[in-house]
């Protein structure tokens, strides 16, 4: 299928084919193809393993997928193997319209954005924690 311009649904939920090859099956879960959650919580983190996003708990027992200092919890989130598999599937989707160079550049910028925003969030969190003390 050819799109004049892709949308979030195109890349994250639609059935994508190239001739008779299925590049990505249709899904109703926008997070099924994504390795990272970057919206809604303070720190980016891997996706929860189930739709119940209250399952991950940090050391304080809060239903959060990260500690206040940014470390990701392990229990309740997808593991490294699934994260790598999802990123691989998304790269294949990207490359159905974009070049390999563009795709790799996009993922490098994405990783840098996660690293930068997490560092900025940690700096702000340290100020807040200091104020609480």
pLDDT of 8 strictly over 80: no
Bridge partners (DSSP) of residue 22 are 17
Residue 5 pLDDT:
66
For the chain, what is the largest distance between any 2 Cα atoms, rounded to a whole number of angstroms? Answer: 62
Measured between alpha carbons, how far is 100 from 8 in angstroms, rounded to an integer? Answer: 19
Question: Tell me, what's the pLDDT at 105?
Answer: 96
Q: Report yes or no: 35 and 90 within 8 Å, Cβ to Cβ.
A: yes
What's the rounded Cα separation, in Å, for the pair 99 and 122?
35
pLDDT tens for each residue of 31-77: 777 778 776 667 888 888 887 888 888 999 988 888 888 888 888 88
Q: Is the pLDDT of residue 26 over 80?
A: yes
Q: Per the structure block, which two tokens stand in for 54?
A: 């209250």
pLDDT band of residue 3 (cuts 50, 70, 90) is low
Does the pLDDT at position 14 exceed 70? yes
> Cα–Cα distance between 62 and 66 in angstroms, integer?
9
Question: In which band, very low, low, confident or very high, does the pLDDT at 103 lie, cut at 50, 70 and 90?
Answer: very high
> What's the predicted TM-score (pTM) here?
0.76
Residues with Cβ within 8 Å of residue 131, at least 6 apart in sequence: none
Closest CA to 64 of 39, 38, 51, 45: 45
Q: What mean pLDDT, rounded, does the chain reach?
A: 85
**By C-alpha distance, which of 50, 54, 46 is closest to 29?**
50
Residue ranges of domains in the chain: 34-132
């Amino acid at each position: 299928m050819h799109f004049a311009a892709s949308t979030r649904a195109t890349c994250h939920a639609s059935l994508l084919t190239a001739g008779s090859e299925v590049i990505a099956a249709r899904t109703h879960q926008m997070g099924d193809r994504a390795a990272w959650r970057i919206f809604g919580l303070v720190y980016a983190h891997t996706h929860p393993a189930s739709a119940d996003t209250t399952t991950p708990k940090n050391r304080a027992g809060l239903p959060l997928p990260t500690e206040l200092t940014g470390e990701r919890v392990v229990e309740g989130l997808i593991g490294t193997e699934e994260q790598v598999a999802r990123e691989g599937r998304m790269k294949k989707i990207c490359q159905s319209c974009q070049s390999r160079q563009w795709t790799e550049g996009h993922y490098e910028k994405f990783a840098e954005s996660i690293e930068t925003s997490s560092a900025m969030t940690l700096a702000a969190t340290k100020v807040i924690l200091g104020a609480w003390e």
